[in-house]
Amino acid sequence: MLNKTRNIRNINYKRIGYHILFWVVLSVFYDSIISFIGNKSFIDTLIHDLLYFFPTDILGVYFTIYFLIPRFLLKKKYRRFILFFFAFFIFLMLAVTMPLQYFGMYAEHTKTGTPVPSFLEYTEKNLLIAMTVKLMIIGIATTIKLAKVWFASQKRQQNLMNEKLEIKLKLKEAELKFLKSQINPHFLFNALNNLYGLTLEKSPKAPDVVLKISSLLDYVLYECNVPEIELSKEIENLKRYIDLQKIRYDDKVNISIDIDGDTSEIKIAPLLILPLIENSFKHGLEKDLGIGFIKIIINVSESNDFSVKIINSLNGEKNHKGEGIGLSNLRRRLELQYPEKHKLIISSDNKQFTAELGINMS
């Protein structure tokens, strides 16, 4: 009982309705033309069609679309499809269709008392017309079937492309989270290292450093969990980080920040500039015995394109080779978030280290 209920539920009534509609429209259209040309009653023509043509039409159509097309045509076995189709079609015409039509004509002629032609005479006279009509009906059904198959394949391909795109986006998102997670510990390690040095020296600046680290962590851990953030907030965070470093270096570093353009109307991915600033302190000043410098130039053009240039002092012995994890991660983040819309140029000589980042925000 349960199986019968499930089978009833699995019946596609909408599909059955479309098939019924196809045959109704086809019969009405075809019989209307035949009755008009032959000057006959539409009802008589329709009854004659249902008795002698309709069964063989159904057989021809459904054998073609549910056996020949899936078995041969869709598998690109074109020769076999043509061979089997014409063999079946000849069988349909000679073994089924023509005898049915002849017996109907025979009954009509017997009823009216008019001479009855032989079966061969009747076949020779009406075979071409019957073949044309049958081929037309099977052709229409085949066209609809192939159109449905094509649209279904296009939909499957589109769904597959969407799934692949979704997977790529998820992988990108996961990779970006991983890269950002590497930035946070890297930054935290440097900040705590600074604090540790001050506590060993019992410096009165230690409490102020704790507050600044807390403020920076609040920004990094909570405010940066968005795809983009206002450039003005990013700059404020950089200033807090620089203030933290000033406490550590005292008067050993000369830091200047030049900002040109409106930073309140532009958003960028968070924590893009911080690795460059960290790099300038770590590799340009950490072991510098003399007075070093860091110059930061931020520019926002009228078209809202963004650029930052950071120049820091560098000893001849510290001509920087290679890139640390900070710059490597930054390059990968830029490739993921601003593909073909960014430039990152790193250069150095015996005197200074320069990092230039530009992003086309259009």
Regarding predicted confidence, which is higher, 46 or 157? 157
Nearest to 106, CA basis, from 53, 52, 47, 49: 52
Domains located in the chain, CATH noted: 11-163 (no CATH), 204-359 (3.30.565.10)
The mean-pLDDT minimum among 93-102, 155-164, 308-317 falls in 93-102
What value does the mean pLDDT take over residues 149-166?
Answer: 84
Conformational region of residue 281, where left means phi above 0, alpha means psi within -120 to 50, and beta covers everything else: alpha
Tokens 């978030």 belong to which residue? Answer: 337
Residues 261 and 300 sit within 8 Å (Cβ to Cβ) = yes
Cα–Cα distances in angstroms (integers) from residue 63 to residues 84, 138, 152, 156, in the given order: 11, 10, 21, 26
Give the span between the Cα atoms of 192 and 213, in whole angstroms: 8
pLDDT band for position 2 (cuts 50, 70, 90): very low
SS3 204: coil
SS3 325: helix
Give the span between the Cα atoms of 237 and 233, in whole angstroms: 6
For residue range 85-97, list pLDDT tens digits in order: 988 888 887 777 7
Neighbouring residues of 351: CB distance < 8 A, sequence distance ≥ 6 = 313, 314, 316
Nearest to 148, CA basis, from 22, 10, 55: 22
Paired sense of beta strands 229-230 and 306-313, if any: unpaired
Q: Which of 44-48, 110-114, 260-264, 340-344 has the highest mean pLDDT?
A: 340-344
pLDDT score at 295? 92
Query: Mean pLDDT, the chain, as a whole number?
Result: 78
User: Which residues sit opposite 255 in a β-bridge?
Assistant: 294
Q: What is the DSSP string of 26-39?
A: HHHHHHHHHHHHHT
Give the span between the Cα atoms of 191 and 185, in whole angstroms: 10
Alpha carbon 338 to its chain's center? 18
Conformational region of residue 250, where left means phi above 0, alpha means psi within -120 to 50, and beta covers everything else: left
Q: What is the DSSP string of 234-249?
A: HHHHHHHHHHHHHHHH
pTM over 0.85: no
Neighbouring residues of 261: CB distance < 8 A, sequence distance ≥ 6 = 298, 299, 300, 301, 302
Query: Phi and psi of 256, rounded to 5°?
Result: -130, 145
- What are 171's two structure tokens? 């992988």
The mean-pLDDT minimum among 183-197, 231-245, 260-274, 325-339 falls in 183-197
Amino acid 61 reads V
SS3 320: coil
SS3 287: coil
Give the span between the Cα atoms of 101 and 93, in whole angstroms: 10
**Running DSSP on this structure, what letter comes out for residue 266?**
-
